[in-house]
Amino acid sequence: MEGKSYRGLKQDEGGKYALSSERMGRQMGEPKCTKSCRMSKKCSVFNEEEGQSIFNGFWADMSWNQKKVFVAGLVDEVVASNRKKPAEESRKKKSFKYYLKKENERVSVCRNMFLATLGVNDKTVYERQFACGYSKDSYSN
């Protein structure tokens, strides 16, 4: 799980395995920060080189379990704020706050910046944060 391009194996109808087409390696995405994000989050404190360094460290230097703990340590689950009238019950019960590390400090960033910098998707975050049983208390970096 180093984020490099690879060729996987595919089983044909006869039960034999053959190399499949080449799969693209992980790439750091382009953060699409909104105007409101720029005002409330600190995405702008990370330049391109720092983002690339975080991405490379995540994909090249960590084992699968370390990646899980890393993501779990940088995403906090919070109670969703109630913006509706008291008579209307909202189905949304929780929300997430995303952080990236800069000089051993957790810096609040938007969801788009977090996902683009690590080259992961929402599903990866939710599965690693909650389904695998890791919590921010077990994060040690």
Q: How many CB atoms lie within 10 A of CB 64?
A: 8
| Residue 17 domain flag | no
Top-confidence residue, 5 or 15:
15
| Residue 112 domain flag | yes
| Residue 29 domain flag | no
Q: What domain range is 57 assigned to?
A: 37-138
Across 67-87, average pLDDT: 77
pLDDT exceeds cutoff 60 at 125: yes
| Residue 45 domain flag | yes
Model pLDDT for residues 12-65, shown as the tens digit of each residue: 788 887 777 666 666 667 777 777 777 678 877 888 888 888 888 888 878 878
Alpha-carbon torsion angle 123, 126, 131, 133, nearest 10: 140
| Residue 18 domain flag | no
Across 108-132, average pLDDT: 78
| Residue 73 domain flag | yes
pTM above threshold 0.75: no
What's the number of domains the chain is made of? Answer: 1
| Residue 11 domain flag | no
